[in-house]
Amino acid sequence: MVLESAESLDGSERLLVARLKRREPAAFELLVKTRKDRVYDFCVRMLGDREEAFDVTQDVFVSIHGHLESFRSDATLSTWIFRIAKNHCLNRLKYLKRRGRGKSDELGDVPEQVIGEALGPPGQPDELIEAARQKALIHRAVSQLEEDQRVLVVLRDIEGLSYEEIVEITDLAEGTVKSRLHRAREKLAGILAKLEAGAADGGK
């Protein structure tokens, strides 16, 4: 997934940031309209629960609105927003663990565009069903990663962010990001293999 075209135009982004810092209601409405779906999808993948993701998404934009003055011009809006969303998701996961609540793990509850490029475009009804099944398995496997691994897999392999952007979001060195991501992918492959084996056994 590539960054939005508006962000590739420095002038457009600077203008939007300037309007946001002037507290123009229309500018913030535009920000929410154009970014809320992507933030929500990120939260779903991190939390594994649509209701929790909806609540956290709202909290993210409340936080964005309250901290616009802290936005630095040397970052893009996307990396800044993802950084805030990441922090909110990790805090929410800690809260849910303290409350003894697990994340939902429903195979049917799958966000859109889950590693879509890796699956390829389905063309026939049978392929549509198989693609949906694969997406569900991948979503379930990602949800079983540790939080720090999940963040990297979601940001790099699902959101398609660059290593430079992930460094900005996570405060990790690029070498650390790459090594941890490698281990996360290996673990994800193992989880996915077990889920696929279980699904095959269940289908017999």
Length of the chain: 204
Please tell me the distance from the alpha carbon of residue 86 to that of residue 78, in angstroms, as a whole number: 12
Q: Residue 201 has what pLDDT?
A: 67
Q: Are residues 56 and 130 in the same domain?
A: no
DSSP label at 106?
Answer: -
Distance CA 113, CA 154 (A): 12
User: Same structural domain for residues 112 and 162?
Assistant: yes
Q: How far is C-alpha 24 from the chain's CA centre?
A: 28
Instruction: Mark whether 89 and 130 lie in a shared domain.
Output: no
- pTM comes to 0.78
- What's the longest Cα–Cα distance across the chain? 62
61 plus 116 within the same structural domain: no
Domain total in the chain: 2
- Are 111 and 135 part of one and the same domain? yes
* 83 and 169 housed in the same domain: no
Q: Say yes or no: 75 and 56 in one domain.
A: yes
Closest CA to 52 of 93, 99, 108: 93
Per-residue confidence (pLDDT) for residue 116, from 0 to 100: 44
Q: Same structural domain for residues 122 and 164? A: yes
**CATH code assigned at 52:** 1.10.1740.10
How many whole angstroms separate alpha carbon 62 and alpha carbon 66?
6
**pLDDT at 203 (0 to 100):** 52
Average pLDDT rounded to a whole number, residues 152-162: 94
**Owning domain of residue 197:** 106-204
Are both 91 and 129 inside the same structural domain?
no
Give the CA distances from residue 1 to residues 6, 93, 155, 169, in Å, rounded to whole numbers and listed in that order: 14, 25, 10, 17
What pLDDT sits at residue 200?
66
**Domain-terminating residue out of 86, 104, 122:** 104
**Which of 93-97, 110-114, 127-131, 151-155 reaches the highest mean pLDDT?**
151-155
- Taking all residues of the chain, what is their mean pLDDT, rounded to a whole number? 82
Same domain? 145 vs 57: no
Q: Do residue 96 and residue 112 come from a single domain?
A: no
Examine the fold and report which residue of 80, 104, 128 is the final residue of a domain before the chain moves on: 104
Give me the percent of the chain exceeding a pLDDT of 70. Answer: 77
User: Where is the domain boundary, 70, 104, 138?
Assistant: 104
Outline where 48-173 has alpha helix (H).
50-66, 77-98, 116-119, 125-143, 147-153, 163-170
Same domain, 193 and 121: yes
Q: What is the rounded distance in angstroms from the CA atom of residue 5 to the CA atom of residue 125?
A: 33
